[in-house]
Amino acid sequence: MKILVTGASGMLGAATARALADRGDEVTVLQRRTAGLGLSEILGDVTDPDVVHRAVRGQQAVVHLAAKVNVTGTEADYRRVNVDGTRTLLQACRAAGVQRLVNVSSPSVAHSGSSLVGAGAGPADPQRARGPYARTKAEAELLALAADSPSLAVLAIRPHIVWGPGDTQLVGRIVARARQGRLPLFGQATALVDTTYVTNAVGALVAAVDHCAPDDVHGEALVVSNGEPRPIGEFLRSIARAGGAQLPKQHVPVAVARLAGAAAEALWSLWPGDDADPPLTRFLVEQLSTAHWFDQRRTREALDWRPAVGLDEGFAELTRTLQR
C-alpha cells in the first residue's frame, strides 16, 4: 500500500513510518525537517496547500500525526497547525482520491478536567477541552470524522501518554528533572493513569491503517493504551529509575501546584526560558493528579489488536537503552 505519514520527525511518527516500511508498504513522510529514515521524504509545512497536495498525490492511505504539541503558544499558533493543517490535508486527500485517513488525536479532546475511570472514547468537545492544544485537536478530530465517506474512510486514534526509548519529550524531561531534583509529586500521586508503550502505539496505528475502510472500521474515535493503569507516582519513579536518576520524594499539595503552574505560564509568556515549555503548567498538574484510564474493549475488538509489550517489559527496555 502507498502510505503518507505526516509528522514523522517525532518518536511515534518515525516509528510508525518505519514499521509500515518494514512490512513492505511504500511509505512517504512529510515533515518540516528531515527525519533521516531513509524513506521518500517531502519537507514542508502541513498548512502549505501546495506541499500537502504534492505529498498526497498517488497515496492510498494517510496517517496524520503532524501537530503543535507544546504547552505554550498562542491559540492562533495551535489553530494554524492543528486545525488549518488538518483541513488542508482533508481537502488534499479528497482531491487526490486517498481512500483511508488515520487521524492521530488525543484523549485530551474529551477530557474536561475531572477523573476518567474506565472511560470510553467520548465525543471530542472543543468547548470543554482543557487548553489550546486539546481544544484545537478536538476541532481537528471533528473535522476529520466529518469527512468520513464511502470514498474516504476516516478513523481517529487517540494514543494515551506514549513513551519509550528515543522519547525526548516525556521521558527525556522526567529523567532530566529527576536528576536535577526538580521532579515533585502532586498530592499523594496515587491517581491511576494508563500509558502506552511506543511499540504498542505503533502496532495500533498500523492496525488502524489495515482496518480503516468503508466496509470495516470508520467514522469513530478509539482510545489506545496499554490497559495497565498504575499510580502516577509509580510511573514517574519507574521512568526516573530507568534513567538512573534519583526518585522523586517531594510531595506538593495540588492546590499549591496549580497556583505555581499558573505563575510559571504567565512568566514564560513574558520571558521564556531555554526550554520551549515552562517547567510547570496547570494542565500538567491536572494530568499528574487526576485519574485517567480507559476501557480498551472497543479498541481491541475493532482493530483486532492487543498490546505486544507490557509496562514492566517496556521499563526494562527503556533502562537498557538509557543506561547502555
What are the tens digits of pLDDT across the range 244-286? 988 888 887 878 877 877 787 777 767 655 456 677 777 777 7
Active site residues: 133
C-alpha cell at position 2: 502507498
Choose among 227, 192, 222: nearest CA to 308.
227
Once rounded to an integer, what is the mean pLDDT over residues 37-48?
A: 93
- CA–CA separation, 7 and 140 (whole Å): 15
Question: Which has more confidence, 259 or 287?
Answer: 259
C-alpha cell at position 280: 510547570
What share of the chain in percent tops pLDDT 70? Answer: 95
Q: Is the pLDDT of residue 71 over 70?
A: no
When pLDDT is cut at 50, 70 and 90, the band that residue 99 belongs to is very high
Q: What is the pLDDT of residues 144-188, one digit of tens each?
A: 999 999 999 999 999 999 999 988 888 988 898 888 888 888 888
When pLDDT is cut at 50, 70 and 90, the band that residue 290 belongs to is confident
What's this model's pTM, rounded to 2 decimal places? 0.92
When pLDDT is cut at 50, 70 and 90, the band that residue 83 belongs to is very high
C-alpha cell at position 127: 468547548
C-alpha cell at position 242: 530507568
C-alpha cell at position 247: 526518585
C-alpha cell at position 196: 502506552
C-alpha cell at position 186: 502532586
2-160+198-225+293-309 CATH fold: Rossmann fold (3.40.50)
Q: How far is CA 145 from CA 78, 130, 291, in A?
A: 19, 21, 27
